[in-house]
């Protein structure tokens, strides 16, 4: 006699979904016997997982882990469908778009060669008009020193940003590095820089943040994040820069770099909308000529000004988290509901 379909379903749940990710603590609890778990605990866990999944889905606009290993597509793991079409860098010898992470980042995997270029059409949620935003990524780059032979002047290894649809003066948001310090062009450090433009056209390209990647932060994996908070329309936007989860700068005095007639001269409020592409990597020719290694991994855009927290990546910066194995929101909800149904069935059987 065949077992009823629902019994097979619940048997599968009981045997295979006894491991539940409790995202709040980033620990794994192994539920060896669902019969020992109270209904109250299961319901609490169920709704906690559902709320976490919903908030994760709402905050993350795009997330790219670059674990494809080959090909010319970087999939958006946020579920929002913002995939990057990739093209290799124009360097000699030719470079692969994906490289094994050295040193390993979290569970290894591959990363994107930042000298290449990734393009997304920038529509949908990536054309954010939010008054808060976070751009974050892991980067691994060599110093601009010895490799500067054959290249001169300033260099911009770009990380991520939304390009302008009508000239640089209207670039909505961008995160990049530059070979510059207070005394001019640098040979031993990279300055972390950003661009933000608000809805009236006030644009700040900060080339004097005073936050650098240098020394032991070079040729290893370093987490970089910049957050924008323009939610107080009566005050200047607050822009913060973090390195490995530690705040390095909080900036409220912004030099406005364009003279768009509609600009009120103050960076605040919502970020400008535009139809330009979202670009990954795509460094300038001067940097490409150096052949300096530059890798990018675990890139995320969020429509909130995230804070460090413990670095879990859930409604906070992801400097201490491997986002790749975190189940998608729908999977979390399914897992939570499955636990609820399985526990209810066990209770009915016992009762």
- Could you please state the CATH topology (level 3) that the domain comprising 66-302 is classified under: Jelly Rolls (2.60.120)
Residue 7 pLDDT greater than 70, yes or no = no
pLDDT of residue 337: 58
pLDDT > 50? residue 17? no
pLDDT for residue 350: 53
d(CA 112, CA 98): 5
Residue 61 has pLDDT above 70, yes or no: yes
Angle (CA) 161 186 156, round 5°? 20
Q: Which of 64, 172, 53, 162 is nearest to 110 (CA)?
A: 64
Q: Which two tokens stand for residue 261?
A: 């007639």
Peptide bond between residue 103 and the one before it cis (omega within 30 degrees of 0): yes
Per-residue pLDDT at 96: 81
- Average of per-residue pLDDT across 5-24: 38
The domain ranges of the chain are 5-56+327-350, 66-302
- Tens of pLDDT, residue by residue over 332-343, are 555 555 555 555
Q: Is the model more confident about 344 or about 136? A: 136
Is the per-residue pLDDT at 351 higher than 60? no
Structure tokens at 323: 């986002």
Q: Show Cβ contacts of residue 274 under 8 Å, excluding neighbours closer than 6 positions.
A: 122, 127, 162, 164, 165, 166, 170, 172
Residues near 312 by beta carbon (within 8 Å), at least 6 away in sequence: 23, 26, 318, 320, 321
Helix, strand, coil percentages in the chain from 3-state DSSP, rounded to 5: 20, 30, 50
Judged by average pLDDT, the poorest of 135-139, 254-258, 270-274, 320-324 is 320-324
Rounded to whole angstroms, the Cα distance separating 243 from 175 reads 13
Average pLDDT (112-133) is 89
Digit-coded pLDDT (tens) for 143-153: 886 544 444 56
pLDDT recorded at residue 13: 38
- pLDDT attached to residue 314: 81
Q: What angle do CA 103, 107, 110 make, to 5 degrees?
A: 65
Q: Is pLDDT above 50 for 52?
A: no
Residues 6+ apart with CB under 8 A from 233: 131, 268, 269
Residue 124: predicted pLDDT: 84
| Confidence check: pLDDT of 213 > 70 | yes
- Residue keyed to tokens 């974050």: 136
| Prediction pTM value | 0.77
Residue 220: is its pLDDT beyond 80? yes
Indicate if the pLDDT at residue 231 is higher than 70. yes
pLDDT for 153 equals 60
pLDDT in tens, 85-117: 999 877 766 778 888 887 778 767 899 988 888
**pLDDT greater than 90 at residue 212:** yes
The candidate with the shortest Cα–Cα distance to 210, out of 248, 242, 172, is 248
Q: Over 90: is that where the pLDDT of 132 sits?
A: yes
Residue 11: which pLDDT band, with cuts at 50, 70 and 90?
very low
291 or 25: whose pLDDT is higher?
A: 291
DSSP assignment, residue 169? G
321: pLDDT strictly greater than 50: yes
Biggest alpha carbon–alpha carbon distance for the chain: 83
């Amino acid at each position: 006699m065949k077992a009823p379909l629902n019994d097979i379903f619940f048997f599968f749940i009981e045997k295979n979904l006894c491991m539940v990710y409790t995202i709040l603590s980033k620990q794994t609890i192994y539920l060896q016997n669902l019969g020992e778990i109270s209904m109250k605990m299961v319901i609490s866990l169920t709704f906690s997982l559902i709320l976490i999944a919903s908030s994760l889905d709402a905050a993350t606009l795009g997330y790219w882990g670059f674990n494809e290993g080959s090909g010319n597509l970087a999939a958006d793991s946020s579920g929002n469908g913002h995939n990057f079409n990739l093209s290799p860098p124009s360097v000699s010898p030719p470079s692969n778009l994906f490289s094994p992470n050295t040193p390993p980042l979290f569970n290894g995997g591959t990363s994107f060669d930042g000298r290449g270029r990734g393009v997304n059409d920038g529509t949908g949620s990536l054309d954010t008009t939010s008054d808060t935003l976070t751009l974050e990524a892991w980067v691994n780059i060599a110093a601009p020193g010895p490799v500067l032979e054959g290249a001169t002047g300033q260099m911009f290894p770009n990380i991520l940003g939304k390009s302008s649809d009508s000239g640089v003066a209207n670039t909505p948001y961008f995160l990049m590095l530059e070979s510059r310090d207070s005394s001019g062009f640098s040979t031993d450090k990279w300055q972390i820089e950003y661009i933000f433009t608000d809805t009236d056209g006030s644009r700040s390209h900060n080339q004097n943040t005073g936050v650098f990647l240098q020394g032991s932060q070079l040729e290893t994996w370093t987490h970089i994040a910049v957050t924008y908070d323009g939610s107080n329309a009566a005050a200047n936007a607050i822009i913060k820069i973090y390195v490995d989860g530690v705040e390095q700068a909080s900036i409220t005095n912004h030099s406005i770099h364009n003279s768009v007639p509609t600009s009120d001269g103050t960076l605040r409020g919502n970020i400008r909308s535009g139809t330009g592409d979202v670009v990954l990597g795509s460094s300038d020719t001067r940097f490409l000529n150096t052949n300096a290694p530059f890798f990018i991994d675990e890139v995320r855009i969020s429509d909130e000004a995230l804070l460090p927290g413990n670095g879990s990546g859930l409604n906070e910066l992801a400097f201490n988290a491997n986002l790749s194995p975190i189940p998608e929101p729908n999977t979390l909800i399914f897992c939570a509901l499955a636990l609820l149904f399985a526990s209810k069935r066990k209770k009915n059987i016992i009762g």
